[in-house]
């Protein structure tokens, strides 16, 4: 086995929890090629992904609070980002989180809960987020990821 194979850096993945297709398009447009984006369009879908992908699969999470636009079931309509946060705390090792929700109350609740669970959190409402701010956050996340994985 070669040294390159032994010291291979894991794939750099972000989980985007967002139900607004316009926002999803913006994030995709801003992403560098080295990022693999996994998209959850509803809270229920996000919770399922987190349960399936135990551990430290994601370098970071992009998180919205109001997640009803693409709810897949009637039950899913009653879930929000707060439910996703509880699934993150239960199923993930702490990773960087960017809360981009425009819901001030919900965003604050998620920030408080995640910070208390050991997750480094940055909160930037989507109306204030742009490519430059997003890429600055992403550069920090990537640096931590590379240091953690010895690259």
- For residue range 69-97, what is the model confidence (pLDDT) as tens digits? 887 778 888 999 999 999 999 999 999 99
User: What pLDDT was estimated at residue 4?
Assistant: 47
Neighbours of 122 (CB within 10 A): 16
pTM score, whole prediction: 0.90
**The predicted structure's pLDDT at residue 7:** 53
> What is the chain's mean pLDDT, rounded?
91
The pLDDT, as a whole number, for residue 3 is 46
Q: List pLDDT tens digits, range 102-146.
A: 999 999 999 999 999 999 999 999 999 999 999 999 999 999 999
Q: What confidence score (pLDDT) does residue 8 get?
A: 62
Which domains does the chain possess?
10-143 (3.40.50.2300)
Residue 72 contacts residue 109 (beta carbons within 8 Å): no
Using only the alpha carbons of the chain, give its radius of gyration. Answer: 15
């Amino acid at each position: 086995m070669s040294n390159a194979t032994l010291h291979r850096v894991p794939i750099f993945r972000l989980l985007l929890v967002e139900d607004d297709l316009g926002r999803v398009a913006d994030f995709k447009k801003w992403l560098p090629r080295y990022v693999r984006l996994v998209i959850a369009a509803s809270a229920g879908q996000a919770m399922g992904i987190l349960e399936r992908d135990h551990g430290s699969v994601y370098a970071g999470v992009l998180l919205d609070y109001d997640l009803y636009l693409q709810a897949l079931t009637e039950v899913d309509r009653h879930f929000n980002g707060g439910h996703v946060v509880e699934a993150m705390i239960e199923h993930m090792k702490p990773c960087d989180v960017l809360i981009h929700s425009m819901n001030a109350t919900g965003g604050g609740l998620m920030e408080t809960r995640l910070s208390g669970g050991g997750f480094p959190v940055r909160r930037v409402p989507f109306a204030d987020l742009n490519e430059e701010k997003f890429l600055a956050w992403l550069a920090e996340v990537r640096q931590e990821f590379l240091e953690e994985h010895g690259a």
